[in-house]
Amino acid sequence: MGADAPLVVLGVTGSIGRQTLDVATRLGREIAGIAAGRISPALIEAAEDWPQAKVAVAEEREVAHTSDVPAEVRRRLAFGHEAVAEMAATPATTVINGVVGAIGLRYTLSALEAGNRVGLANKESMVAAGALVRRTWRDNHAELIPIDSEHSALHQCLAGEPPSSVARLILTASGGPFRGSDRADLVAVTPEQALDHPTWNMGGRITVDSATLVNKGLEVIEAHHLFDVPAEAIEVVVHPQSIVHSAVQFVDGALKAHVGHPDMRVPIQYAITFPERQNNPGDPFMLAGLTLTFEEPDRDTFPALDLAFASLEAGLSAPATFNAADEVAVEAFLAGRIGFLDIVTVIEQALALVEPTAVDSYDAIVAVDGESRRVAAEVTGAIAKASDRVG
List interacting residues with Mg ion (CB under 5 A). Answer: 148-150
Give the count of beta carbons closer than 10 Å to the beta carbon of residue 206: 19
CB of 209 to Mg ion, least distance (A): 9
CB of 183 to Mg ion, least distance (A): 24
DSSP assignment letter at 245:
E
CB of 227 within 8 A of CB of 219? no
**Cβ(46)–Cβ(22) under 8 Å?**
no
Which one-letter DSSP state was computed for residue 295?
A: B
Nearer to Mg ion, 150 or 342 (CB): 150
Please say which residue, 16 or 77, places its beta carbon nearer to Mg ion: 16
**Around Cβ 90, how many Cβ atoms within 10 Å?**
19
Q: Which is nearer to Mg ion, 110 or 149 (CB)?
A: 149
Beta bridge partners of 235: 170
C-alpha to C-alpha distances, 57 to 33, 121, 125, 188, 201, nearest whole angstrom: 11, 19, 20, 39, 26
Q: Are 65 and 40 in contact (CB under 8 A)?
A: no
Of the pair 199, 280, the CB lying nearest Mg ion is at 199
Please report how close the Cβ of residue 109 comes to Mg ion at its closest, in angstroms.
Answer: 22
CB of 168 to Mg ion, least distance (A): 18
CA distances from 30 to 93, 118, 322 (A): 10, 16, 37
- Contact yes or no for 126/221 (Cβ under 8 A): yes
Q: What are phi and psi of 2, to 5 degrees?
A: -65, 140
Least Å from the CB of residue 246 to Mg ion: 9
Beta carbon nearer to Mg ion, 56 or 128: 128
Residue 148 vs 326, nearer CB to Mg ion: 148
26 burial (CB, 10 Å; 0-12 / 13-18 / 19+) is middle
Query: Judged by CB, which is closer to Mg ion: 148, or 327?
Result: 148
Is the Cβ of residue 149 or residue 323 nearer to Mg ion in the bound state?
Answer: 149
- Min dist CB 189 to Mg ion, Å, is 21
Which residue has its beta carbon closest to Mg ion? Answer: 148
For the CB of residue 194, give the shortest distance to Mg ion in the complex, in Å. 17
Q: How far is the CB of 150 from Mg ion (least distance, A)?
A: 5
CA distances from 88 to 35, 53, 112, 123, 131 (A): 9, 13, 9, 17, 20
